[in-house]
Amino acid sequence: MASCRREPVAAPVVVQPYKRPPIIDFHSHLSLDGLDRIRTIMADSGIERMINLSGGSGRRGPEQWQAAQELSRLLGGKISNFAIPNWRGLGETGWGDREAAALEMAVKDYGFQGLKIPKGLGLGYADERDQLVAPDDPRLNLLWDKAGELGIPVSIHVADPRAFWWPLSEKNERWDELGVHPYWAYGPIHPQLLATFAPQVQEMVMQRPTVASWATLLQQSENLFRHHPKTTFVAVHFGNCGEDLNYVSGVLERNPNVYIDMAARVGEFGRHPPDKVRAFFVRWQDRIVFGTDIGIGSDGLMLGSNGAEEPTMKDVKPFYDAHFRYLETEQKAIAHPSPIQGRWTVDAAGLPGEVLDKLYRKNAEKLLNRQLLLAEAAGRKPASLTVPLPLADDRLPAWALSGAATPITN
């Protein structure tokens, strides 16, 4: 029988461009004197809200918290301030009570919305016996419990890029950064190289404390997450481990109280094949927030890191655009946002629109909703302590092993 159906007319292919929502940058460092610059930057790059991780400890009095909240007020309430503990007296009796009370005051009386823990925990803060305090030290427990009770997130920076533990030389992939700030490095430095730095820089290198290994610090941070399941943590800088997506996946899987931000690590996690990165973002789409680690003051800018050259206002929009290009397109061999962090290119991840919407905005809104966080925490069971933690792979690269016989200083 003859068919009277007509051939379907092919509809024109319309590729809908992704419409980016107003962005929430979950990782910034702002000061009141940068007000005009912050306003300009937010308008130019489509940033609706910034999470200021430098809201202060209130150590010099509540004026510090007032100034941070004043910045937000002058920007229409579009800044969310996170407080930092006052580390003075850490280890002494009463420190935990004092800091838990200070955090409660910052949140309830001043409107702060989170707690920030800098990498000094594990790498620099010492107790009354001058011993470095590890991220999982029980003397901080009251602080984590208070954050959980208040329903606020704890953005926590632990360790540093893995290459900071490798020997410092021009072969180190972080040379552009570490060659300018050799005292950021934790690995050995050859005496001949050390002698090339200015005397006060040499002095700073010599005064570096001996720190735990990269893998140990990551393990300690996971101990912390596991021991405080009712506290919500945001492990900054891609879970502090952009080098190893499998490890970060494991942390997220084992610890439902952990989120991550992606600040200042596009250059690191972007080194993995884009398919693998995309699969990671899709799998963990409810637990990752967008962040850049931008620093804005009246006379200084930081765009993810600092190198030999100071960035200017002209560099800021390209910095944000480099993030958007990486996340939204499938372009090959593009520059990552902070080239100071390594001389390589990345292949863009090309994330689906619904994943981008969560990353740019929805997950951040969730983290700033105290009632929601409290409700989520109430349903969480303590993580089983019988599951072994996989050790992160922190082997030295081949170039570092071959030079191991040369005299080194640490």
157 or 272, CB closer to Zn ion?
A: 157
Of 137 and 293, which CB lies nearer to Zn ion in the complex structure?
293
* Site size with Zn ion, rule: CB under 5 A: 1
Calpha distance 226→221 (Å, rounded): 9
CB count within 10 Å of CB 366 equals 18
Whether residue 38 contacts residue 50, with contact meaning beta carbons closer than 8 Å, is answered with: yes
Determine the interface stretch with Zn ion among 285-293, 308-316, 318-326, 332-340 (rule: CB under 5 A).
285-293
Burial class, 337, CB count within 10 angstroms (exposed 0-12 / middle 13-18 / buried 19+) = buried
Q: Does 25 bind Zn ion (CB under 5 A)?
A: no
Scanning 207-244, the segments in alpha helix (DSSP H) are: 214-227, 236-239
Shortest distance, CB of residue 337 to Zn ion, whole angstroms?
14
Q: How far is the CB of 164 from Zn ion (least distance, A)?
A: 15
**251-280 positions binding Zn ion, by CB under 5 A:** none
Q: Which residues of 338-352 are buried (b: 16+ CB within 10 A; e: fewer)?
A: bbbbbeeebbbbbbe
Which one of the spans 106-114, 195-203, 291-299, 353-361 is the region binding Zn ion (CB under 5 A)? 291-299
Min CB(272)–Zn ion separation in Å: 22
Kindly indicate which of the ranges 38-46, 72-80, 89-97, 288-296 contains the residues binding Zn ion, using the contact rule CB under 5 A: 288-296
CB of residue 264 to Zn ion, shortest distance in Å: 7
Q: Which residues pair with 189 in a beta bridge?
A: 168, 409
Q: Minimum Å distance from CB 29 to Zn ion?
A: 6
Closest contact distance (angstroms) between CB of 83 and Zn ion is 15
Q: Burial level of 141, CB count in 10 A (0-12/13-18/19+)?
A: middle
Is residue 173 close enough to count as binding Zn ion by CB under 5 A?
A: no
Instruction: Report the residue closest to Zn ion, judged by CB.
Output: 293
CA 397 to chain centre: 25
- Taking CA 179 as the corner, what is the angle to CA 173 and CA 182, rounded to the nearest 5 degrees? 110
Residues 126-165 that bind Zn ion (CB under 5 A): none
Residue 293 as a binder of Zn ion (CB under 5 A): the answer is: yes
Q: Summarize as ranges the residues that interact with Zn ion (CB under 5 A).
A: 293
